[in-house]
Amino acid sequence: MLSDFISLFFPRYCVGCHGALVRKESIICINCQYEIPKTNSHLESPNFVENKFFGKVNLTKAMAYYKFERKGRLQRVLHQLKYSNRPEVGNLIGEWYGRELEDLELPNLYDVIVPVPLHKTKLRRRGYNQSAQFAEGLSKSLNIPIDLSLLKRTKKTATQTKKTRVERWQNVEEIFKVSKKKKLTDLRVILVDDVITTGSTIESCAIALLGAGAASVGVIAIAAAK
Ligand SMILES: [Zn+2]
């Protein structure tokens, strides 16, 4: 009753289509949940996400919930998550995906969830790390602990895009670093990102984690480009 009354004056809108949310819907409407295309990459191996890393870095698994498209509902959802101060969008999608991944028994395969970190300047400006929000949702429904301080981004990536793959690889330690205080030996890590396009960020993080002694690295993302 009270929530109906409140939404009469403060209508709540879906982050995917901007349509008014009806009762029991929250953040993303039922229609958008249905319409945003999923990859089902967790059901096949090798899949198109894993293929991006083939011959570059050894990952145990890689999967993404949604197919990344530059237009449409998902793009609007991701835009709200990244630029419109809607961190809860990430938590919600993480919880949903975690539930879909239940049959994979990931808690038997992994010890910790680690989001791709933001540079501290960017984190301060945005107020939150969208990948960490998604990771928290995953952590909640998968029941695997999250570690937000294990991996650090020590340099902005702006200039990185102009470099070749070999140059990027040589620069890995300048970009992602494993915290010296952490013991990583024998730890099986799920690395979490928002969108995977070329895969170079994940590649750099995974190399840093494996180089610091992680036993294995798997990857989960909100979306990946085909
Ligand atoms: Zn919608």
125-172 residue pLDDT tens: 999 999 999 999 999 999 999 999 999 998 655 555 555 665 555 544
Dihedral sign, Cα of residue 19, residue 24, residue 30, residue 36:
positive
Averaged confidence pLDDT in the chain: 90
53 against 8, higher pLDDT: 53
CATH 3.40.50 is the classification of domain 36-224? yes
For residue 15, report the distance from its CA to the centre of ligand 1, in Å.
6
- What is the four-CA torsion angle of 131, 136, 142, 143, rounded to 10 degrees? 140
Show the DSSP H helices in 52-199 as ranges: 73-83, 88-100, 106-109, 120-126, 130-142, 165-170, 172-175
pTM score: 0.88
For residue 31, report the distance from its CA to the centre of ligand 1, in Å.
6
Domain ranges, ordered by start, for the chain: 1-35, 36-224
DSSP 171: T
- In angstroms, the Cα distances linking 20 to 2, 30, 81, 102, 202 are 17, 11, 18, 31, 36
For residue 32, report the distance from its CA to the centre of ligand 1, in Å.
4
Give the environment of ion ligand 1: residues with CB less than 5 A: 14, 16-17, 29, 32
For residue 6, report the distance from its CA to the centre of ligand 1, in Å.
20
